[in-house]
Structure formats: structure tokens, C-alpha cells
Amino acid sequence: MSQQPETPTLAQDGHTSRRFFASFYERTSRSSGEKSFMNPLRKEVIDQARGLVLEIGAGNGLNFAFYDPDRVERVEATEPDSAMLGFARARAAKARVPVNLTQAPVEKLPFADESFDSAVVTLVFCSVGDPGRGLSEVRRVLKPGGSLLMVEHVRAHGAIAATMQNIITPFTKLLAGNCHWNRNTEKTVIEAGFQIEQRRDIGGFMMPGVILHVSKA
Ligand SMILES: C[S@@+](CC[C@H](N)C(=O)[O-])C[C@H]1O[C@@H](n2cnc3c(N)ncnc32)[C@H](O)[C@@H]1O
């Protein structure tokens, strides 16, 4: 990976065009290491999705292959970055369920209140500009009792690891598509009023993660 920081082209409505990051992500996601670590986590989360599903920050579309037509009727996939959307289109066309792609940030979802049975989010909230606002948008568009299904890397529990994350974060924001390595996403999810149904810790010292199944109470 080149060390050149990438300044995204920020457009109206929170749209971006991070071409360098999208190409890097596409290349990395074809590696066997990424697939063997992430694919079981993607499957675990997406197996819980039902009915009409909202996918947020779909990136290059790596989750699309996991949606099962026996459980999922349609996926409305949102992604604010035009370069990522370019890669996602090909994967949407090959999915086993209909996948509609829309360019939008999670802070401003172009959907009516109480539209979706499930929302899927994988590795997104570390990069979102305003996570609190994004999560309240997810709550707004989920039906009562709907599920938010997440895989996120999160803030380390230990003081030493969390301090190291704080030191690294300015660089990951610049080089990795605004990734805030040190973000306490689980806390923000609870503050947004979701109820935790299931959680599982994954990963380790500097990059702990969590799988969350939360519901709109
Ligand atoms: C690390 S990638 C993950 C992509 C995909 N979800 C996956 O699991 O491979 C992070 C994604 O979050 C998207 N993102 C950044 N800010 C966002 C926002 N405000 N709303 C929605 N998605 C956002 C980025 O454009 C990028 O596609």
C-alpha cells in the first residue's frame, strides 16, 4: 500500500470518491487470508437476515453472495462511495437475491420510516462521519422488532492497546478510508436505543471485534 494519504472528493449529501482506497480494498478482498477470516463472519451475520434487508456501506459487495433466497426477499444496498459502487455492481448482478444499489451515506438514508425487517452492517461504523446520527437513521427505517446485524472492529478494552489505537487512528483515517481504529461502536449502538439480543467477541489485542445482533425495541 502506498503511503500517500488520500483526500476524498466530498460531494453533496456525503457522497465520496475514494478511488485509491476502493482499488486497494478490492485487491485485498481477493486474498485467501481475508476470505478465510471474514467469510465465516459474513455468513454468520447474514444467515440471520430476513425479509426486506437494508445493507449499509456495502463497499465492493462482498456480502451479496451470502444472501439466501429462502430467507431474504430483496436487499437495498447503500454505499456513499462511487468507486466502491463500481465494484459492487458486478457482485450485485451475480447475487442469488435481487440487490438494488443506492449511493447514500447512513446519516441520510433515502427510505421511509419502518421499511426494513433487517439491516446488515459489516466493517462500516469505524468510517462513518457521524455514527450516532447514522444509527438513529437505521432505527428510523427498521420496522418495530427489526434486527440490526453487525460485524465491527472496536475499541480495545485494555489501556495499553487502546492508547496504541489512539496513536494509530490519525493514520488510518488518512490512509484507510476514514477508519477510526479506536471507535467504541458498541457503546454508540446502545446509546442509540438498540437492545442487544446476542453478542460475540472476535479478534484480539490491537484489533478486537464484535458480532452484534441487536433489535429495535
Ligand atoms: C472497510 S469498508 C467495508 C465494506 C463492506 N461493508 C465490507 O464488509 O466489505 C467501509 C465502507 O464503509 C463505507 N462508508 C464510509 N462512510 C460511510 C457512511 N457515512 N455511510 C455509509 N457507509 C460509509 C465506505 O465507503 C466503505 O465502503
User: 84 C-alpha vs ligand 1 centroid, how far in Å?
Assistant: 9
Is the CB–ligand 1 distance for residue 56 below 6 Å?
yes
Q: What share of the chain is helix, strand, coil (3-state, %, to 5)?
A: 40, 25, 35
Identity (one letter) of the amino acid at 50? R
For residue 122 and ligand 1, the question of a CB distance below 6 A is answered with yes
Q: How far apart are CA 155 and CA 152, in angstroms?
A: 10
Query: Is the minimum distance from the CB of 59 to ligand 1 under 6 angstroms?
Result: yes
Looking at the CA of residue 129, tell me the nearest atom of ligand 1.
Answer: 19
* CATH code given to domain 11-216: 3.40.50.150
Q: Where are the alpha helices (DSSP H) in the chain?
A: 19-29, 32-46, 82-94, 131-141, 159-175, 185-191
pLDDT at 4: 45
Q: Which residue out of 19, 21, 124, 179 has the highest number of ligand 1 atoms within 8 Å of its CB and is therefore the one to mutate? A: 124
pLDDT per residue over 19-42, tens digit each?
999 999 999 999 998 899 999 999
Model pLDDT, residue 203:
82
CB 138 less than 6 A from any atom of ligand 1: no
Report the atom number in ligand 1 closest to the C-alpha of 18. Answer: 25
Domain boundaries, the chain: 11-216
Q: What is the pLDDT of residue 111?
A: 98
User: What is the reported pLDDT for 12?
Assistant: 64
pLDDT of residue 33: 86
- pLDDT tens for each residue of the chain, 217 residues long: 344 445 454 566 899 999 999 999 999 999 998 899 999 999 999 999 999 999 999 999 999 999 999 999 999 999 999 999 999 999 999 999 999 999 999 999 999 999 999 999 999 999 999 999 999 999 999 999 999 999 999 999 999 999 999 999 999 999 999 999 999 999 999 999 999 999 999 988 888 999 999 999 8
| Nearest to 81, CA basis, from 1, 184, 175, 178 | 178
